[in-house]
Structure 1
Amino acid sequence: MQGAGSSAARLLLLSCCVCAAAGYPFRPPLDLDVTPRITVLSSGLQGCRRFQSSAVNYSTMLLEADSERLYVGARGAVFALNASDISAGSALTIEWEASSEQKLECMLKGKDNKTDCFNHIRFLQRFNSTHLYVCGTYAFRPLCAYINEERFVISSQPEDGKDKCPYGPTMGYTGLIIDQQMYTAAQYSFRGFPDIRRNSPFPTLKTEDAPTRWLNEADFVGSALVKESLGSSGGSGTDDKIYFFFTEKSQEQTTTYSHSRVARVARVCKGDRGGQFTLQKRWTSFLKARLTCSLPEYDFHFNVLRSMFVMPGQAPQETLFYGIFGLEWKNVKASAVCRFSLSEVQEAFQGPYMENQDSGSKWKEYTGKIPDPRPGTCITDALRARGINVSTALPDDVLDFVRRHPLMSQQVQPSDRRPLLFRRTTDYTHMAVQMVQGLDGQTYHVLYMGTDEGWLHKAVEVEGQLHIIEELQVFEEPQPVNNLQISAKQMSVYVGSPSGVVQLPLSYCGRYTSCYDCIFARDPNCAWSGVQCVDIMSQAERSTLIQDVQHGSKGCENTQDDVALRSRSVRVGDDVLLQCELSSNLATPLWTLDDSELQGYGLNSGFRTGTDGLLIIEARQDQSGLYTCYAVENSIKVPIVTYNVTIRLDLPPPPPVEPIEDSYSLFGTMPAPTEHYSTERPLPPSPASLLPHSELLSPRNMEAMYLSLITILGALCVVLTVVLVYVGFCLRLGNRGKYSLRAAAAAYPVHKRHNRNRKQSRNSAHMELKTISSHCNGNGICNGVSKHHNGDIQEGGFLQIVPGEGHTSANKGPPPPAPPLPPTPQHPSPECEFPNGLSATLPNVLRRMNGNSYVLLRQSDSENTSPLCYSFAEELNKILEKRKHTQLLPRPDESSV
């Protein structure tokens, strides 16, 4: 019982943790959940070049700036593109598809013949000055080959790649060629374990898998060479190191809830030669440590590593690692960006080890004696002085310790102990980083991050936090970004995806049209010249340029941008929309009337504000004046547009105009515009201008209006109930004939119908009841009912009784005719009374302002109220004849709403 209770308690605790973690991304710290300032759709991209072919899955890229070549590996093909313009027709192609025999063998293994049974290029790197080296999955039998760079052809017979390339197109994989030696990390066989290997030339090395497995279901995302030997002296180390980044199953034992997977960094020495007897053909320098990217104040961890970019510094110790981290739960989208320094990684590898003494699944910190020399270190000058020149000379106790203690206890913490960026509802897939020197002399790191839906986010790191300058929709069809490469020489970023490759400029400063717009962007590549926003790299004279990356607010105090001035003349009582479009997602609108800020937008204020602008409701003469819209960003007000609004009583109605087939979202939620577009095109009339204006519809009488409407609908329900009772009574009479009641039963007085109906003496009458819905448009014209003054009523109404099958007797005469309907009066009474005494002169369309939206209320089939009174359509037509109109100026710059 105790075991069951403890298990239940642990399960409850786990469920609480999962629920809390899954719900957390919707409650992020405000300073980390950053909104991109500018949104640019694919139709608004400038300087965009694209490359596509019959191949798919452009996942591998090698950029060589010196030769101005961009090599791209796809499914069944390798391309050599012109880096300055990838869309040019000078692309070179090598077609390398799997043979039909190998595809058939792949399908016989049960693999997908639409995705797996092809040759997906997974490795493409330079081997020497004349050749490239390429590896592909080759339908689950990996092959590798050399490519002659000059002729761009495969120059050798493909060789077995099972120890160099993964068998599947989506397996985690990374690889490097260093001094013609190939270092790779992957799961190389279908049933094998993940492994880090040096494949060629001799000696080949790999990670250990017994008695202690060094890698536990590892999924690799990247690797990098760090030349720590540069500038080193004495015993500080003279061997370069190769770092591998991956996510694997957790091995640590902690007192708190532990994720099943964790992010890791592993290290091996370039000069490692394995051990003499212990660890033969195994790494003697392999160590791994955990990478943490978390929000400590919320005890929330991003434990899945998706991408890693290594930023070299001026010195090896200044090397930085930028990583994209995600959540373990696939149903919650969120991403974090953390930055790590090389010194933090080295400190973790110099700390205490972890051990697994009882061969269980959990590890804990080792507290025993550590052999000398320290296990896992590279061969240094100090070791050479002791006669240890290569790893094969290391003592067996040191190698045995390395074999059993590959995991470090100390975790690698990010800079500032927190993420640079957190994004909910976004899954970043790849990243590239560029260093840019601003006009203030500081060096800024600009990050380009691709998403799983084909967007590219550009951000700048300022004081340990990221500011997203813009988000670009690179692909119209959502698809993941597979690769990113940056060329400082070409000033371009290259984006690989399943459908193709896109080349974009690193910055497009012409997108910013004013001084403040250029300054607010905080793009280190852009500055204001006094006339336009320009790329600083193209300017020889920079002394007059204005830029403020640190704060994004200074420098434009003495500049004056042109503000659009528009005039509007409207009639008293009309609704008027003053449009104001903000290009920045970070800006908020502020409206002033005659230089006084408008305060409050309540129900009785006469104003509404939304994403489209300011709406003046039932304009009054005292609301005339100068209306100015400001964009407030970084606590600075920037005027956008000014309207000179004149509200008059003596304006004639405007001439009729042709309807504009366009859609316009009034106060709707929509993405911020990417570019300023002309507002001179007249806007179509809003729903407000099509509605009748009446005191009955004013906000003061809305409550009474709703009560009246509810009462009327209730009365109609009572009438329908009485009719149903009457029909049931008729059925009980047993009529044999066939009768059709075509009257609008819901509106005609029930007691009159009862007086005019005759009792029938026939039996077995069958009647069918149907409710017929009628349709009314906004002008009160109803379809489904058509009345004539001769008393005939055609199809329609709320209730209709249609003929059914009747059983007539052969010796009986024809059934008597239906009772005549009362004639339609020629002069209906001005007031129409329902059976409950309520007036029926309400219009069939009502308007209600609710926040920033319009609501249309329609009553169905106004024709069926009563033949003794005006129909709703007639009453509405009379109201519409009195409707007020907006008077446009002779040359309006924008239509009135």
Structure 2
Amino acid sequence: MRPPVVLLYFFLTCETFTTSSEPRRRVFFQFKESVNLSSLLLRDDIGQLVVGAKGKVFTLSLDNIAEKTSEAQWMSSSEDKDTCKFKGRATEECHNFIRVLHTMEDGKILVCGTNAFVPTCDYLSFKYGNLSFQGYKTAGKGKLPYNPYTRFASLVDGNTLYSASTTNFLGTEVLFQRHTAKVVKTGYGPSWLYDPTMISLSLVEVSKSSLDGEDDHVFLFFTEKAVEERRYNIEVSRIARVCKSDLGGGRILVDQWTSFLKARLDCPFGDAGSHTLVQDVFLVHNQSNWKDSIFYATFTSNSKSSGCSKTAVCAYKLSDIRKVFSGEFLTESSNLCWDTSTENQPSPYPGSCINNEMRAQGVKTSLLVPEKTLEFMNKHRLMKSVVTPITGKPLLVQTEKQFSKIVIDQVTSLDGRQHQVMFIGTDSGWLQKAVSFDGEDSRIIEELQLFETPQPVNSLKLSLKTGQLYGCSNKEAFQINVRDCSRYTSCDDCLLARDPYCGWDQIRDQCASVVGTSNGSMIQSLDDGDIRICPTSDMKPAIVHLSLGAAQFLPCSPQTNLPVSWSFSNSIRFPGPQHTVLSQGLIIRPSFSDAGLYTCETRETVKGKVHRKTVIQYAVQIQDNNSTVMNLKVAVITLAACCSLVMFFLCCCCLIRHKKAKRQNN
């Protein structure tokens, strides 16, 4: 089979909404035909972006993803395709969509595809610049869905795979499980996962060292129908937790999680009573204290009263989550209502991970957890308390958008403080770059349209090694340098943007990245964007001659999207019969009193302080066309009279010379 024709190209310009002067440069990889890019794997160690697609896996250079470096095909067999279609699936669904890509401890890549509704896995190696499958295919049931369009979650810890996925052809059964020689999984029924309509794409391991020797946790974020709600079919967001060392129970909960607890995840925005649904989660590790690690999550909500969609980002501290999972439980009463459990909580605490205290009591594995604790766990998995965001409210809320993917970068500013920069993809193909400063709501630094045609951002990967953000839709992969500050062309722009990546280099006279720099000549003002610390520059006004009473245009085109104002002799010029302010300039119908210095400047309010920046100045001089014409006429008449006198004088001289010459001849 001939490989598809590949079109590699660069987009150098596009429409942006940002405080910068130039659109950000992006590198794209795009197939002419639809290949359904399904998964991304970032491999900094080999300098490759591994891309899973329909029937193939290929690699792109991290330096420039427009460079395709290798490809390995994995098509479904004709027999599998025919069987898939015979069972009622559409032809397009009956291909092998590569949806799982994970790096194993030996550097090989675990690859799983839907394989015409017969999920299958294999291993892939990258040697000498080439991809090659190992050919040891294994069943992928439960590791990924049968359906190529069903959402799921997976994570590899060492060589251990965790997954939350549908496990049957019809997609009616969902399990959260760990795939080892001894598989441990959730059971069936509403106490585990109650008709989950969407599994979030984030399974996060929290690695930590604890004084009490507690095992690590794995967290799952998802949405499900709320059993505790009296209203039918209400979907809510959940966070679930299990222990990594959980081996299941000895007699009760055999091969099932003995540590599975879940709680409602709240992100309050939108209408009262509406529920917000988690879409994606990213964990920012705190290296000094693991309890201060923070989950950032995107949510969507359909506002019932206004009829418009809303979306938000909320953040949750791990220590707050731990408190919820150490609290009271909900239980179903005889009248089908859910109330706080009044049963005595057995020891050890239900859902606890093995720690030093339990080991001292002889409970060294979950197989030895007392049956009373497991019996309680079998009936109580839902916590009473709700996990709420750090600030009690979202970090960022927007309307008429739907946030999809999120990644966070921790940037150290020139003063040594760390700032979390959020990169948020939307379902219409936009990328938003936002940052939250202490005491302020999050602000969007930059908003970028990634694709020429609207399409969801399905994946985001950030490389701290290259400083590049990689992502894809179903059709295109993109690459963006997040540390690029060249679009801020002046010190004022550089500081007003309050971009943690960027500072003004006073020696090189340019805005540059502060990441890893030790340059003492750089300045930042992230707290309030104070441009007064910028080096001063002299601006010479442009001299303009305007005609009295004639409407004329003074252009003003700032390099930012900030609002502009005009001033004359230090007073603001408002729209009126003689002055009309437009977005790109000022229309003036001048009188003699309008001669003077006009200044066009941008204004931005930061923490109640107004920052102004002069864009252009005009030294306006007024002239009366009627007076000019009259003076010109007088000058012409005078000139004509002078010319006549000169001609008369010349004629007289010629006549005298002629007479003298005639006398001499006689």
What is the TM-score with the length of structure 1 in the denominator? 0.64
Name which of 41, 46, 49 aligns with 2:27: 49
Q: CA deviation at 1:345?
A: 0.7
1:365 corresponds in structure 2 to: 340
553 and 252 in structure 1: CA distance in 2 versus 1, 3 angstrom threshold: farther
248 and 547 in structure 1: CA distance in 2 versus 1, 3 angstrom threshold: same
Q: Is 1:352–1:409's contact at 8 Å kept on the other side of the alignment?
A: yes
Letter paired with 1:402: M
Matched, 1:608 2:589: no
Name which of 120, 125, 129 aligns with 2:102: 125
Gaps of 5+ in 1: 1-34, 654-897
Q: CA deviation at 1:123?
A: 0.8
Q: CA deviation at 1:332?
A: 2.9
Q: Is 2:201–2:279's contact at 8 Å kept on the other side of the alignment?
A: no
Percent identity over paired residues: 32
Q: Is 1:304–1:328's contact at 8 Å kept on the other side of the alignment?
A: no
Letter paired with 1:134: V
Q: Is 2:269–2:312's contact at 8 Å kept on the other side of the alignment?
A: no
Letter paired with 1:589: V
Q: Is 2:206–2:216's contact at 8 Å kept on the other side of the alignment?
A: yes
Query: Whole-Å Cα distance in 2 between the matches of residues 323 and 457 of structure 1?
Result: 14
Correspondence list, 1:63-74, <5 A = 63-74=42-53
Query: Whole-Å Cα distance in 1 between the matches of residues 40 and 471 of structure 2?
Result: 9
Query: Whole-Å Cα distance in 2 between the matches of residues 138 and 191 of structure 1?
Result: 15
Q: CA deviation at 1:168?
A: 1.7
Query: Whole-Å Cα distance in 1 between the matches of residues 164 and 314 of structure 2?
Result: 23
Matched, 1:262 2:236: yes
1:223 corresponds in structure 2 to: 202
SS of equivalent residue, structure 2 residue 512: strand
Name which of 586, 591, 596 aligns with 1:620: 591
SS of equivalent residue, structure 2 residue 373: helix
Q: Is 2:274–2:303's contact at 8 Å kept on the other side of the alignment?
A: no
Deviations 1:283-334 (A, max 9, x none): 11000011111149x7465511111001111132121100001114696332
Letter paired with 1:363: W
Matched, 1:146 2:146: no
Q: Is 1:514–1:561's contact at 8 Å kept on the other side of the alignment?
A: no
Name which of 272, 290, 297 aligns with 2:246: 272
Name which of 304, 307, 310 aligns with 1:334: 310
Correspondence list, 1:181-330, <5 A = 181-189=160-168, 190-199=170-179, 201-210=180-189, 212-228=191-207, 230-234=208-212, 237-253=213-229, 260-295=234-269, 299=272, 303-314=276-287, 315-328=289-302
Q: CA deviation at 1:83?
A: 1.4
> How many residues in Structure 1 have an aligned counterpart in Structure 2?
599
302 and 536 in structure 1: CA distance in 2 versus 1, 3 angstrom threshold: farther
Query: Whole-Å Cα distance in 2 between the matches of residues 503 and 439 of structure 1?
Result: 26
Query: Whole-Å Cα distance in 2 between the matches of residues 274 and 99 of structure 1?
Result: 38
Q: Is 2:471–2:479's contact at 8 Å kept on the other side of the alignment?
A: yes
Query: Whole-Å Cα distance in 1 between the matches of residues 109 and 572 of structure 2?
Result: 66
1:698 corresponds in structure 2 to: none
Query: Whole-Å Cα distance in 2 between the matches of residues 453 and 652 of structure 1?
Result: 61
Give 1 or 2: higher strand fraction.
Answer: 2
Letter paired with 2:429: G
Name which of 111, 119, 123 aligns with 1:134: 111
What is the TM-score with the length of structure 2 in the denominator? 0.85
Query: Whole-Å Cα distance in 1 between the matches of residues 489 and 237 of structure 2?
Result: 43
1:447 corresponds in structure 2 to: 422
Query: Whole-Å Cα distance in 2 between the matches of residues 507 and 295 of structure 1?
Result: 32
Letter paired with 1:611: S
Letter paired with 1:195: L
Q: CA deviation at 1:105?
A: 2.9
538 and 417 in structure 1: CA distance in 2 versus 1, 3 angstrom threshold: closer
Letter paired with 2:601: Y
1:379 corresponds in structure 2 to: 354
545 and 357 in structure 1: CA distance in 2 versus 1, 3 angstrom threshold: same
Letter paired with 2:592: Q
Query: Whole-Å Cα distance in 1 between the matches of residues 210 and 564 of structure 2?
Result: 57
Letter paired with 1:98: S
Q: CA deviation at 1:258?
A: 9.3
Letter paired with 1:194: V
SS of equivalent residue, structure 1 residue 145: strand
1:631 corresponds in structure 2 to: 602
2:331 corresponds in structure 1 to: 355
Q: CA deviation at 1:119?
A: 1.8
Q: CA deviation at 1:212?
A: 4.1
Q: Is 2:21–2:487's contact at 8 Å kept on the other side of the alignment?
A: no
Name which of 529, 534, 549 aligns with 2:526: 549
Query: Whole-Å Cα distance in 2 between the matches of residues 218 and 380 of structure 1?
Result: 35
Q: CA deviation at 1:410?
A: 0.4
Query: Whole-Å Cα distance in 2 between the matches of residues 40 and 107 of structure 1?
Result: 53
Letter paired with 1:433: I
Q: Is 2:266–2:388's contact at 8 Å kept on the other side of the alignment?
A: yes
Query: Whole-Å Cα distance in 2 between the matches of residues 538 and 49 of structure 1?
Result: 24
Gaps of 5+ in 2: 1-15, 629-666
329 and 124 in structure 1: CA distance in 2 versus 1, 3 angstrom threshold: farther
Which entry has the higher C-alpha Rg, 1 or 2?
1
Q: CA deviation at 1:204?
A: 0.7
SS of equivalent residue, structure 1 residue 107: helix
538 and 281 in structure 1: CA distance in 2 versus 1, 3 angstrom threshold: closer
Correspondence list, 1:853-868, <5 A = none
Query: Whole-Å Cα distance in 2 between the matches of residues 36 and 462 of structure 1?
Result: 21
SS of equivalent residue, structure 2 residue 308: coil
Q: CA deviation at 1:84?
A: 1.8
216 and 370 in structure 1: CA distance in 2 versus 1, 3 angstrom threshold: farther
Query: Whole-Å Cα distance in 2 between the matches of residues 580 and 108 of structure 1?
Result: 66
1:569 corresponds in structure 2 to: 545
Letter paired with 2:140: G
Q: CA deviation at 1:466?
A: 1.6
